[in-house]
Amino acid sequence: MSRDKMFGDNSFSSPCNTLGFLQKNNSLEEKGRLAGQKNLLSCDNSDRDARFRRTETDFSNLFARDLLPAKNGEEPTMQFLLEVVDILTNYVKKTFDRSTKVLDFHHPHQLLEGIEGFNLELSDQPESLEQILVDCRDTLKYGVRTGHPRFFNQLSSGLDIIGLAGEWLTSTANTNMFTYEIAPVFVLMEQLTLKKMREMIGWPNGEGDGLFSPGGAISNMYSVMIARYKYFPEVKTKGMSAAPRLVLFTSEHSHYSIKKAGAALGFGTDNVILLSTDERGRVIPADLEAKILDAKQKGYVPLFVNATAGSTVYGAFDPINEIADICEKYNLWLHVDGAWGGGLLMSRKHRHKLNGIERANSVTWNPHKMMGVPLQCSAILVREKGILAGCNSMCAGYLFQPDKQYDVTYDTGDKAIQCGRHVDIFKFWLMWKAKVSRVDRRVHTCWLKKTEKHLQANKNLHGFPQHTNVCFWYIPPSLRGMPDGDERREKLHRVAPKIKAMMMESGTTMVGYQPQGNKVNFFRMVVSNPSVTQSDIDFLIDEIERLAHDL
Amino acid sequence: MSRDKMFGDNSFSSPCNTLGFLQKNNSLEEKGRLAGQKNLLSCDNSDRDARFRRTETDFSNLFARDLLPAKNGEEPTMQFLLEVVDILTNYVKKTFDRSTKVLDFHHPHQLLEGIEGFNLELSDQPESLEQILVDCRDTLKYGVRTGHPRFFNQLSSGLDIIGLAGEWLTSTANTNMFTYEIAPVFVLMEQLTLKKMREMIGWPNGEGDGLFSPGGAISNMYSVMIARYKYFPEVKTKGMSAAPRLVLFTSEHSHYSIKKAGAALGFGTDNVILLSTDERGRVIPADLEAKILDAKQKGYVPLFVNATAGSTVYGAFDPINEIADICEKYNLWLHVDGAWGGGLLMSRKHRHKLNGIERANSVTWNPHKMMGVPLQCSAILVREKGILAGCNSMCAGYLFQPDKQYDVTYDTGDKAIQCGRHVDIFKFWLMWKAKVSRVDRRVHTCWLKKTEKHLQANKNLHGFPQHTNVCFWYIPPSLRGMPDGDERREKLHRVAPKIKAMMMESGTTMVGYQPQGNKVNFFRMVVSNPSVTQSDIDFLIDEIERLAHDL
């Protein structure tokens, strides 16, 4: 074996080395020349600051194979990445520019057919880097600007610059959360951040456990799994047949992921009992108690109650303390789904809406919603230490060797239902470092007041605002004189989809709609983007009126 | 309501507007001056190419609040992002530079105490952007270079430049896969790519279904869920009590996620039957049949068989055709876990190792492993169309409105157990576009041959290479003369952890170790990074010898 070059550049011994005369330390310019690209240095003071030497590279003759790890690949790699960054920073600028549209809508068949040369099909021939850059531009062009201040369509919106930088770094580090060994810094950041979050929940000394998971639905699924493990640990080995018929309780307004968890984990959706709510969408505690008693009478075993802190549609907050009283009385696991509303724990002014959360056994909290962290960033937090590992660990020897040289309690992977786990913590940690006080202020912002004023001022809007969710109907001219009844309801039901369709085509703003219970289709405007101003809300209302005036 | 500025910059009406004299179209320089930063244009020809105008910005007095959407925030935002990119591109360069270390190891308590001012703790005071940039540098400095050509520690390694660009774009687009409405391009890319993958599996016309999920463990969990739904659909509503005692079969060498799925979904790990393997780690089909018959005799109901294509430790390929014969005979769901080995489907030369995969009902395939796509990128592929939706849909009205203006079959979210779903497709689609033929060549690369040669040439290495996993013991001088027996086994068991500890401290390379079955701790070298050359493998072996010479 030839091993004469410890730590050296080993490309010399590669069989595909056709430029054997190259020296290891040849300059970038030389490399560029040898690789056959034309470099036009555009900055004269490149000595002082070589970092952003801008060369004009012809990418039409370059391919992925010319990038690192290719020999002489450094220069084209850097130029290619700078071109990509140019595309991205232009996109960022436009996202904040109200003179751009939120989207340029096309139907699926139109995009599939290919628009102006944008070909989504995968061919068998590699494309040039020039075409790859065009693909990147087109991908952004035909997408939706979720960071635009007039995008009100989802609970997650906005484009946080610090979070964005954090996510770029995360992808560059390209590692995995399962062991301290390969993610030492990220594992510790996760641990410290989860502790801070538990302190904000109010658990003594921030003790407990937790994980970042790939979204609120998975976080909620964890809560059901660990509740089952707490009361019926033998289910882990014996399956559900080792337990009696277990039932879960959650609001009729709660997120559908509780039902999904019931189906997936083997409880069955019939055993997810939906609780009635008051006119604002909050669980009625007496209904919970009645349904617990009813289940017990039937011989079922109540296991778990989910209280929602910020429901998806109405933004309702269930009364956690009253629900906790009932859970204590009947010895049930209390989970708080704060995927949406959890961010209010950062706000001195609004955190009272989650009073009682410190009595929960587990909490879901998605910083990627109200706190504006880029997708995905969701935490499952657990009061009892060790129970996540107890529930999920399988002690795989190839990852979690007990005889490592460091403290292996930092290897968190065996607590998860995942094996590989994406690094979701860094962007959040970085945002916290950069602006903890702004996060605090952010949730203080009075979107609710602004929109309430709207509803009061505009006689054609009828709605029920709460949290930053504002739900409303727009009553078009043709329905304004019509008496209430089935005909009017049916017609009103069709109004929101019609307006939404026109809105998508026009691309100027986006807001969601849905029916709920006995309410026909209504709009749900949500604000979680700090770029949004009063005039953006004005704009949305104006747009609805403009689009719907002849409905 | 004042609505006189349609589409205009609405910052004028903001209560925090203290610079009311600003014009909307003031130049960037003016904005910069007003924001109080010093700009030193470093490029003279900035008119021709304004994109990379490099200014020297003092970030010590700038904070996150000065970035977009702040008024005058565009210039500092662009400069801040370019600084971040500078940090990242330097990291990329070093990753490919063999003269840098793979890691700079510190124990958890050392990092927690803070090294050279790197403070992981979250304070209550926002940091300046200068400090944020320092945090970014430090985060990378104390991390592990998983893309380094001498990182052999995990199945996922390497740093693909096209994939990296794709991931940067994905984070900038910051959207969610659940509806066509907010991710039109990504949803179509996913659909087209999944179809290509199904074609490669060999399902007729690439028909079927699938999703990208947050990792192989979740993909495997999907396979168990849909198998259960196929045979016992009533479990979705009634729970596991509606089914008989169901059993799952998987290799003793298979990934632990099958057992995790058994525990989570309510089967119980006792009902996950482990199959015996031959000396190379491949399932013995006769053992499968014997265990099926045994289970049936006990009154249990065999449901599901997992065949592994590329096992985690040995890289073994179960004989899929023979297993498929048995599954057909007994009417069982056949899943192929190709998380690791699925990439070989791209290789004309190696795809025979997966012969029979076209007979599978479902397949897990992680492009983030052998194909070098950045983390996370895992697909669950299903032969029967509609079954994913049947199993998981809950028809949430607020997301999946049936009365949208476009073809809502493109809204894929209700097929998933997640609600929000990260965009994992774009980087893979872009890599495919850029170098489909290279992906093909990549898996042809004969790492196996290279390492086999090593083992033959070095009398102190004893191993069993297969696929690109090479498992081996290093026999240190003190054990070379010792006869086989318990004492030698115990001593040999402690060798790999000792070497690994020294290797981590020295930071020059990384390789994993583990025991398996009756085999004491051995190294598992895995290659999935195309940067790796023969000399890097030489280097690893040399390092082991260097570190272990006095063991």
Q: Which of B13, B64, B92 sits opposite A533 (nearest CB)?
A: B13
In tens, the pLDDT along B338-355 reads 999 999 998 888 899 999
Alpha-carbon dihedral sign for residues B95, B100, B102, B108: negative
Tokens of A503: 């809105």
A184-201 and A425-442 helices, crossing angle to 10°: 30
Name the nearest CA neighbour of A128 among B435, B479, B157.
Answer: B435
| Band of residue B528 on the pLDDT scale cut at 50, 70, 90 | confident
Q: CB distance from B446 to chain A under 8 Å?
A: no
> What gap in Å lies between CA A21 and CA A501, rounded to an integer?
64
> Is A457 in Cβ contact with B239 (below 8 Å)?
no
> Is B165 in Cβ contact with A84 (below 8 Å)?
yes
- As a whole-number percent, the residues of chain B with pLDDT over 90 amount to 75
> Is A266 in Cβ contact with B64 (below 8 Å)?
no
Q: CB distance from A314 to chain B under 8 Å?
A: no
> What gap in Å lies between CA B166 and CA B175, rounded to an integer?
14
Average pLDDT over residues B380-391: 97
> Is B176 in Cβ contact with A171 (below 8 Å)?
no
HSE-CB at B427 with a 13 A cutoff on CA atoms is: 31
Name the nearest CA neighbour of A64 among B186, B39, B371, B549.
Answer: B371
Q: Which architecture, in CATH terms, is A175-434?
A: 3-Layer(aba) Sandwich (3.40)
Average pLDDT over residues A15-36: 31
Average pLDDT over chain B, rounded to whole? 88
Q: CB distance from A125 to chain B under 8 Å?
A: yes
Domain ranges of chain B: 10-145, 169-435, 447-548
Q: CB distance from B19 to chain A under 8 Å?
A: no
Q: Check: CATH 3.40.640.10 for B169-435?
A: yes
Q: Which of B85, B126, B175 sits opposite A436 (nearest CB)?
A: B126
Instruction: At A103, give phi and psi (nearest 5°).
Output: -155, 160
| Band of residue B470 on the pLDDT scale cut at 50, 70, 90 | confident
Q: What is the pLDDT of residue B23?
A: 27
Pick from A34-38, A457-461, A510-514, B37-41 the range whose average pLDDT is largest: A510-514
How close B125 gets to chain A, by Cα (Å)? 7
Helices (H), B69-183: 74-95, 108-113, 129-141, 161-173
In tens, the pLDDT along A464-506 reads 667 778 888 999 999 989 999 999 999 999 999 999 999 999 9
DSSP state of B338: E
Q: What is the pLDDT of residue A468?
A: 79
A74-95 and B161-173 helices, crossing angle to 10°: 10
Q: What is the pLDDT of residue A528?
A: 86
Q: What is the pLDDT of residue B399?
A: 86
> What gap in Å lies between CA B188 and CA A121, rounded to an integer?
10
Average pLDDT over residues B198-208: 98
Annotate A306-330 with three-state secondary structure: EEEECCCCCCCECCHHHHHHHHHHH
Which chain B positions have a beta carbon within 8 Å of A270's beta carbon? 237-239
Task: Quickly count: other Cβ atoms within 10 Å of residue A3's Cβ.
Answer: 11
Residue A371 or residue A456, greater confidence: A371
| Closest B-chain CA to A66 | B161
Q: What is the pLDDT of residue B47?
A: 41
Chain A to chain B, count of Cβ pairs less than 8 Å apart? Answer: 609
Q: Check: CATH 3.90.1150.170 for B447-548?
A: yes
